[in-house]
Amino acid sequence: MSIDDATAAEWDRITKQSQQRQQWWEEKGKYDMVDKPAHYNNGAIEAIDYIKQQLGENFYAYCEGNVHKYIHRYSYKNGVEDLRKARWYLDRLIKELCSDGN
């Protein structure tokens, strides 16, 4: 089945499961939408580490692009949460630059 064929009821079920998973992680104290979102921490490697591995030096541009994205959208999407995400990517960019001797 294609994602385009999903019914409204199927989307509702998936959304509810996602919300329940998020609530469970929050209750366990292991989940944070900015610093450690559950949907980026499934499997053996965290998504950001995989992206860095794949992009190499282009990882700097990836981080910078996300800073711009989250600053641009904060006022009409997730407010302070998006600003915190922008700060997270900026901090990560600084960390990467400093570890590379810049």
Distance of CA 76 to the CA centre of its chain: 18
pLDDT at residue 42, as a whole number: 61
End-to-end CA distance of the chain: 49
From the CB of residue 31, how many other CB atoms can be counted at a distance below 10 Å?
A: 18
Asked if the model's pLDDT at residue 92 lies above 90, the reply is yes
Q: 4 in helix, strand or coil?
A: helix
Q: Measured between alpha carbons, how far is residue 21 from residues 16, 28, 78 in Å?
A: 9, 11, 20
d(CA 101, CA 80) in angstroms, rounded, equals: 32
pLDDT at residue 9, as a whole number: 79
pLDDT per residue as tens digits for the range 5-34: 767 877 777 777 767 766 766 666 656 666
pLDDT at residue 83, as a whole number: 96
pLDDT per residue as tens digits for the range 31-88: 666 666 665 656 667 888 889 999 999 999 999 999 999 999 999 998 999 999 999 9
